[in-house]
């Protein structure tokens, strides 16, 4: 964990957030600036700065994030209508908080 990382503080419950899901590997909560009707963040408890900082031993964490995203999409009712899964990588790729996290975005009416 990083002392100055917002997501580490959320994981440690030092910053208030309502978890929609939690297990030993990750937490899920709503994005405070949603880009869609459903916009969740799937955040590993382990501090990993970015996709660029992943090591092979963390492969199972990333896989787990995708499986949790799949389950959360179903729980949120967007699994059949469709959704996006997105990692922003580094500043040029839109990453604002430097703690790996997966966006689940969906719920648009088409």
Q: Kindly list the domain boundaries of the chain, sorted by start residue.
A: 6-106
Per-residue confidence band for 3, with pLDDT thresholds at 50, 70 and 90? confident
Report the pLDDT value the prediction gives residue 109, as an integer from 0 to 100. Answer: 82
Angle at 13 between CA 91 and CA 19, to 5 degrees: 80
Is this prediction's pTM over 0.75?
yes
Catalytic-labelled residue, pool 39, 99, 101, 103: 101
29-42 average pLDDT score: 97
Please confirm, yes or no, whether 101 is among the known catalytic residues: yes
CATH architecture of 6-106: 2-Layer Sandwich (3.30)
76-100 average pLDDT score: 97
Q: Count of alpha carbons within 13 Å of 28, Cβ hemisphere only?
A: 24
Tally the residues of the chain. 110
């Amino acid at each position: 964990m990083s002392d100055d990382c917002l997501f580490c503080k959320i994981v440690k419950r030092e910053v208030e957030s309502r978890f929609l899901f939690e297990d030993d590997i990750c937490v899920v909560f709503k994005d405070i600036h949603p880009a869609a009707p459903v916009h969740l963040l799937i955040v590993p408890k382990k501090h990993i700065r970015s996709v660029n900082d992943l090591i092979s031993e963390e492969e199972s964490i990333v896989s787990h994030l995708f499986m949790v995203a799949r389950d959360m999409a179903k729980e949120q009712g967007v699994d059949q209508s469709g959704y996006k899964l997105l990692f922003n990588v580094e500043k040029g790729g839109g990453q604002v908080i430097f703690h790996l996290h997966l966006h689940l975005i969906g719920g648009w009416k088409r």
